[in-house]
Structure 1
């Protein structure tokens, strides 16, 4: 049981670190704060997420 817990936490950490969980977090946020409104598809989300932005700093 302890090994499963460690592996689950490592998986969570790796997903957070790599950004793999970003879309899941986005969906959770949209459902909680904007119920009934349309959400982006994963492809649209990733396109916006990786679009270069111009910043002064």
Structure 2
């Protein structure tokens, strides 16, 4: 879960999908999937960061 939070934090500050995938050793499609699900959830980044694992 921590990896996902950090991934979304990087996306929020403007890192590209390609940069994030390299930094976290994930495929670009996986990063896109996580970002898409985050956007569809309607949660704010602040709320997501305060949620428990």
TM-score, scaled relative to structure 2? 0.34
Higher RCO structure, 1 or 2 (CA under 8 Å, sep 6+): 2
Tell me which protein shows more helix as a share of its residues: 2
Structure of higher CA gyration radius = 1
